[in-house]
Structure 1
Amino acid sequence: MFFVIIAALVLPIFLIYRHFSPRDDKKQRYAEEARRRGCAPAPVMRKKGFLGFGHLLDGLKASRQERGPQHVIEAIDGEMGPDVHTVIVPISDYELIDVSEHRTASWKPMFGLGIFTSRGEQWKQSRALVRPQFATDQINDLELYERHVQQLFAAIDKHQNREHNEGFTHPFDLQPLFYNMALDVMTEMLYGHSVHSQDPSERVELPSLPGYDPPDRERIGYHMDGGKAWIEIRGAFWKYRWLLPPWWFNEHCAAIHKYAEWFVQLRLQQGEKYMDGLRHQSGRPNSDRFVLLNELAHVTQDPVELRSQTLNVLTAGRDTTAALLGWIFYFLSRHRDVWVRLRCEIILIYGPYQEDDPGVTFRQLRDGLHYLTAVINETLRMAPVVPLNDRISLRDTVLPRGGGPNRDKPVFVPEGTQILIPTYALGQRPDIWGPDADQYRPERWLENGGRKFGFEYVPFGGGARQCLGQQLARIKASYVVIRMLQRYDAILSAEYPPDAPIRFHHTIENRSGSGVQVRVHDSTWDDSS
């Protein structure tokens, strides 16, 4: 019913647009330029549905069913065949002019202009402002990670019922716990104060700030999720987004702005004393502590820019890490052999779990454990945290192949064309990853001397706009995985089907001399041999 109403509203606007749209020789110019460059047209999917909006509505429906990435593959394979990888998808007759009218218009109301939402000179300024803050020495606060991982363990332990369940936890969903933990880490790293969504009793009383109500630390995650759900719809409808009801989206935006603005105003009013008011549970002086807002305030005093830059980093840092962790444990729960091998590597290097001394060093996280790195890479291939990305051509250019009857000719891309990059579909191609592309197999990253990254693997983007925070996301994910596998044994026992809910079981590890014995139910591995 919602889409029928929208279609009825769009129809008169569309007809007026078609009637008054300028008639020029664009198509002829494009054809001549394509011939001059030796290009051939890419295959074109059939128009579908009312006014050509069928593909758009199908995509929105699939997204609401949480299967948008799979829909891209099914739609193209179903109509064009599995060997066609570059297609033109007609949606009505509108065209996107540049990213400032698309991504920025969709995201700016909630997060403002920052490194994630801007382009051109604005993007360069944002990147120059934020990039130094992602230097190695700024993201190695393992004490911060450990404190929030301990709260994660406490949340997991609440699900235990050893007396009635033979040591296993009740079935439960890990994903919300990962989102809470990532939100706690990022808010503390950005503003110095964690929202403590995992354990609200840890929240400290904030100082009074004349003219500003205290921020809503309890519902900030809810508003971020709700706002981004609307952003997805707004982006899909593009120039017709003004037809969407604004009330709920505006409510989320206002709450998110209010949250960030409170800390920005506190930092601007207190200056360097802002750091003195922070609580540091490790006992180290606050002068040694990294807080992004404080660092940015040394460069700019513009409250809108400080709010926008920190919110841009907040949404990227929270969602990528939480999604990556969720998918890692999704695959580990369904591939016991991978779980066993990974846990053996971790126990061999770090030893069994110790609450007071995790024994994890930043150098080891940065350099990566071989199999853990392979697990992360394979997870990002199978389930990239950004399954669909897009770019806009700033000038006439070409794609190197995809045109012509054999799809080996270059494809002409006129200025202003939107190019969708389905990173999920890219990771499922047998011609790139082999006949087992649909199988979760981390070993593929270790074979033949190790696989190198190329543009067939872009989970964090590529080129100039490659994500600045990918190293931070990998380090946080690695730390959590190490601590989780140190503390917990196998996820599934033999009597549970592969699609059973996550279940944890404790075990005992024995370490003597150079030998480490790790018992995973009925599987034993001993490195002394």
Structure 2
Amino acid sequence: MFFTAVLTLIFIFVILHIYFPWRAKQAEKERIASEAARRGCLPAPTMSKNGFLGFGRLIEGLRATREGRGPHYVIEAIDSEMGKDVDTVLVPIFDYNLVVSRDPDVIRHVLSNTLTDWDISEHRSESWNPLVGHGIFTARGEHWKHSRALVRPQFALDQINDLFMFERHVEQLFVAIDRHRDTGARWTQSFDLQPYLYNLTLDIVTEMLFGYSVHSQNPSERVELPEIPGFKTPDRANIGKHMDAGKAWIETRGALWKYRWLLPCGEFYKHCTAIHEYAQWFVQLRLLRGDKYLDGLQQHDSDTSNSERYCLLNELAKLTQDPTELRSQPLNVLTAGRDTTAALIGWMFYFLARHPRIFRKLRREVLNVFGPFLPSCPTGISFRPLRDNMPYMTAVINETLRVAPVVPLNERVALRDTVLPTGGGPNRDHPVFVPKGTQILIPTYALGMRPQSWGPDYARFRPERWTNGPRDVGFAYIPFGGGSRQCLGQQLTRIKAAYVTVRLLQRFDRVLNAEEPRNAPMKFHHTIENRSESGVQVRLRAAPWSI
């Protein structure tokens, strides 16, 4: 009797947990094949299931990231196994298939149909939500539309051109750089410029978002915060560290996709809590003070009164009083606004240090438009010339974003059964059927390395490719994404990068590559944004009039 009962239980277990799931998968395969045939689709080339159950692909990708060649891995894997002429592939990993495409036509189709056929995956949302909350960067569908409606007005031109505020923080950057230069000397010692750029953008963005900069570059400049009964004054000194550590966890969680639950995340949530407490303190201050939120804030020699100063939190509070939303929306902007701009400026100087001709040409344009740096005079930099009268600066920024895209990878997931326009069949000219729930990865770096789009010198850093006539490569160049979810902050990122570069080139007339060895290959430190893994090792020479 007992033996019969055990056999019965085993039989029921096999039926419920093995046979029924297997039969459901078979039925789904038959449905997909039938639907693909009905729509005239053929499958894309399929890569081998590498390693145990296909997890070898994940392991190889994580290893490549640790070695500073994460963006290169996508190109290497497709080229070596499928061929250089294959742009869209199917990658099987355990119990799901992943689409990877570097085809501009496929990417145009996907990004142009975001919110109808495609959106960011719920896995991206769930990976990011613990750190930054529900906002424009992590929300999907109608929630994303709501977030965009809240944030979009804050990126109008008159809101992002506070060059006086930029200048205050650039002056602190100069102070940090001068610590590497002996009194009276023109040349600095060798140093890494990159961390100072991350301090700079963190200081600028926190002031734009909350009205109070963390002053990570120079802590003595921090404005004393008023007390809020029942709330501990936030730890501003380590916000950048908590952000970097949190993003490192998110990078790994994202790579594991739906298996991210395998990671122990106690340390990750400690960083999340510190970031939340920091933002929540300013939210409480705004809710307590109302429209007088910025009253009493030190002016820092600005000619703008507190009532006229731009502050994202202050503006959002005019539209919503939800504390969670007031915390989450600025944190979403903080992550993107700090990291992408710092990485961009860092890569610009990485390349300028290795291409003295380009440095000299760019500096000539800076001096022709704005003149030299004079310590006794205002900078004389205004928004319109910065944006409209510097074609070579624009070319250098564009080329930097092509060769070293600060967002190396994008992704979408199919909201319903849909079709990619091309990539299937033996000649890869047939549409490809994509079942609902399938994720597609868009490798931005691989797009910038396509000889079909950029010519035989695609690997060369050459800003002139953007100045010799019109350059329209469509979706082969999407450093800020494309379609409806295109980055709202791209104008701000470009303006900040141009302003900081102008000021540095006014003050320093030479930059040398100080990395050892000098011919070391590019390495990418990939924690969501691409930054140089070796830093930006340079020596700078002060212009004679700036000493």
Give the TM-score of the pair, scaled to structure 1. Answer: 0.89
In the other structure, the counterpart of 2:208 is: 189
Alpha-carbon separation, structure 2, partners of 1:269 and 1:385: 38
Alpha-carbon separation, structure 2, partners of 1:17 and 1:445: 58
Change (3 A) 1:217 1:493: closer
SS in 2 for 1:421: strand
The total of aligned residue pairs comes to: 492
In the other structure, the counterpart of 2:240 is: 221
Match of 1:53 among 48, 52, 55: 55
Alpha-carbon separation, structure 2, partners of 1:464 and 1:19: 43
SS in 1 for 2:542: coil
In the other structure, the counterpart of 1:323 is: 343
The answer to whether 1:443 aligns with 2:445 is: no
The answer to whether 1:382 aligns with 2:406 is: no
SS in 1 for 2:45: coil
Alpha-carbon separation, structure 2, partners of 1:395 and 1:484: 50
Give the letter for the 2:164 counterpart. E
Match of 1:302 among 319, 322, 332: 322
Please identify which structure carries the higher strand content: 2
Contact 2:121 2:411 in 1 (8 A): no
Give the letter for the 1:30 counterpart. I
Match of 1:175 among 190, 194, 202: 194
The answer to whether 1:84 aligns with 2:86 is: yes
Q: Runs in 1 of length 4+ with deviation above 6 angstroms?
A: 16-20, 493-496
Contact 1:140 1:362 in 2 (8 A): yes
Shift of 1:18: 6.8
Give the letter for the 1:365 counterpart. L
Contact 1:98 1:416 in 2 (8 A): no
User: Quick one: percent identity of the two aligned structures?
Assistant: 64
Contact 2:209 2:313 in 1 (8 A): yes
SS in 2 for 1:44: coil
Give the letter for the 2:338 counterpart. R
SS in 1 for 2:433: strand
Match of 1:284 among 288, 291, 304: 304
Change (3 A) 1:394 1:213: same
Give the letter for the 1:345 counterpart. E
In the other structure, the counterpart of 2:104 is: none
Alpha-carbon separation, structure 1, partners of 2:196 and 2:18: 49
Contact 1:396 1:415 in 2 (8 A): yes
The answer to whether 1:261 aligns with 2:280 is: yes
SS in 2 for 1:489: strand
SS in 2 for 1:271: helix
Deviation per CA, 1:17-62: give whole Å up to 9, x if none.
Answer: 8776333522222222222333221111101111210001111111
In the other structure, the counterpart of 1:474 is: 494
Contact 1:334 1:498 in 2 (8 A): no
In the other structure, the counterpart of 2:539 is: 503
In the other structure, the counterpart of 1:485 is: 505
Deviation per CA, 1:387-408: give whole Å up to 9, x if none.
Answer: 0110112222222222222222
Matches within 5 A, 1:105-254: 105-161=126-182, 167-254=186-273
Deviation per CA, 1:363-396: give whole Å up to 9, x if none.
Answer: 1123251000000000000011110110112222
SS in 2 for 1:272: helix
Matches within 5 A, 1:339-354: 339-354=359-374
SS in 2 for 1:275: coil
Alpha-carbon separation, structure 2, partners of 1:272 and 1:495: 50
Give the letter for the 2:197 counterpart. F
Tell which deviates more after alignment, 251-260 or 485-494: 485-494
Alpha-carbon separation, structure 2, partners of 1:278 and 1:87: 55
SS in 2 for 1:90: strand
Alpha-carbon separation, structure 2, partners of 1:300 and 1:17: 48
Match of 1:452 among 424, 449, 472: 472
Shift of 1:162: 6.5
Give the letter for the 2:540 counterpart. F
Contact 2:50 2:56 in 1 (8 A): yes
Give the letter for the 1:73 counterpart. I
Deviation per CA, 1:437-469: give whole Å up to 9, x if none.
Answer: 00000000111x221351111110000000000
In the other structure, the counterpart of 2:385 is: 364
Change (3 A) 1:251 1:100: same
Give the letter for the 1:218 counterpart. A
Give the letter for the 1:504 counterpart. L
Alpha-carbon separation, structure 2, partners of 1:269 and 1:494: 50
Shift of 1:288: 1.2
5+ unaligned residues in a row in structure 2: which ranges? Answer: 1-15, 99-117, 521-535
Tell which deviates more after alignment, 499-508 or 120-129: 499-508
Change (3 A) 1:318 1:279: same
Deviation per CA, 1:136-160: give whole Å up to 9, x if none.
Answer: 0000100000000010111111111
5+ unaligned residues in a row in structure 1: which ranges? Answer: 1-15, 511-529
